[in-house]
């Protein structure tokens, strides 16, 4: 375990959050295409509901990924701080 590993985990979470966010536009385009192709069909009204659920799920996933990213970075900072304090505390033992 190292602070650079923890920061790397934070970056991975951040990248995943961005990837999830990018699906919103693609989902909207797909929903619009489906609605146009199925004009007059009974299920078309449910497309908006389905898209709304996807937006809510997308927001929840991004929120959790962003929280994880922040937590990894805070852990890395704390790890660095502990390493510095430990090195300082042990530096004068054998003098």
Helix axes 3-37, 44-91, angle to 10 degrees: 170
Answer whether residue 66 is part of any domain.
yes
Answer whether residue 89 is part of any domain.
no
Helices (H) and strands (E) in the chain, counts: 2, 0
Residue 72: what pLDDT?
Answer: 95
Is 80 a residue whose pLDDT tops 90?
Answer: no
Total count of domains within the chain: 1
Is 92 a residue whose pLDDT tops 80?
Answer: no
Residue 76 to residue 30: CA distance in whole angstroms: 40
> For the domain that residue 68 is a member of, what is the CATH number?
1.10.287
31 and 51 Cβ atoms separated by less than 8 Å: yes
Residue 95: what pLDDT?
Answer: 62
Residue 15 to residue 72: CA distance in whole angstroms: 14
Answer whether residue 88 is part of any domain.
no
Using the Cα atoms of residue 47, residue 52, residue 55 and residue 60 in order, give the sign of their dihedral: negative
Answer whether residue 95 is part of any domain.
no
Q: 40 vs 71, which has greater pLDDT?
A: 71
Q: 92 vs 61, which has greater pLDDT?
A: 61
Answer whether residue 92 is part of any domain.
no
Q: What is the mean pLDDT of residues 15-27?
A: 93
Q: Which residue range is the domain that position 62 belongs to? A: 3-83
Answer whether residue 72 is part of any domain.
yes
């Amino acid at each position: 375990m190292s602070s650079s590993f923890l920061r790397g985990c934070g970056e991975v979470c951040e990248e995943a959050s961005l990837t999830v966010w990018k699906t919103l536009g693609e989902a909207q385009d797909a929903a619009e295409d489906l609605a146009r192709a199925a004009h007059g069909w009974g299920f078309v009204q449910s497309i908006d509901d389905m898209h709304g659920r996807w937006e809510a799920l997308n927001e929840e996933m991004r929120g959790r990924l962003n929280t994880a990213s922040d937590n990894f970075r805070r852990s890395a900072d704390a790890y660095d701080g502990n390493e510095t304090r430990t090195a300082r505390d042990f530096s004068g033992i054998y003098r």
